[in-house]
Amino acid sequence: MPTDTSVDPRSFQSFAEFYPFYLGEHSNTTCRRLHFVGSTLSLVCLGMLIATGKPQYFAYALLCGYGFAWLGHFGFEKNKPASFKRPLYSLMGDWRMYADIWTGKIKF
């Protein structure tokens, strides 16, 4: 279910309040799938950073994570990522949603 576009993500006082809003911003299945792919590729890139010590893998991790997420928002969800107004909660939401997809709490 899409969220009310008049809600300012900065108005939430806790992550627990923010997360339902975050999920509403990810109601499109393709958007969620793109987030999942981007997060998975980011983890692979971070693993490569650790394995090789090559710092460019950190940049690749950011590119994968944000690139796939923004493609999902702008191309499929038709909204702006909440990370523009609430970056820390959005990052936390990304990983919570990732875990919720893995555990079957959120449809993939």
User: Can you tell me which residue has the tokens 């899409």?
Assistant: 2
Does residue 28 belong to any structural domain of this protein?
yes
φ/ψ of residue 28, rounded to 5: -80, 125
Average confidence (pLDDT) over 47-75: 97
Say if residues 25 and 76 touch (Cβ distance below 8 Å): no
Does residue 2 belong to any structural domain of this protein?
no
Angle subtended at Cα 39 by Cα 4 and Cα 73, rounded to the nearest 5 degrees: 30
Does residue 46 belong to any structural domain of this protein?
yes
47 lies in which domain range?
Answer: 15-102
Q: Enter the pTM of the model.
A: 0.88
DSSP 6: T
Burial tier of 89 (Cβ tally within 10 Å: 0-12, 13-18, 19+): buried
Does residue 78 belong to any structural domain of this protein?
yes
Count of domains forming the chain? 1
In the predicted structure, residue 48 carries a pLDDT above the cut 90: yes
Tell me the per-residue pLDDT of 66-97, one tens digit each, with 9 for 90 and over: 999 999 999 999 998 888 889 999 999 999 99
Report long-range pairs for 51-57 (Cβ below 8 Å, ≥24 apart): none
CA distance 64 to 69: 8
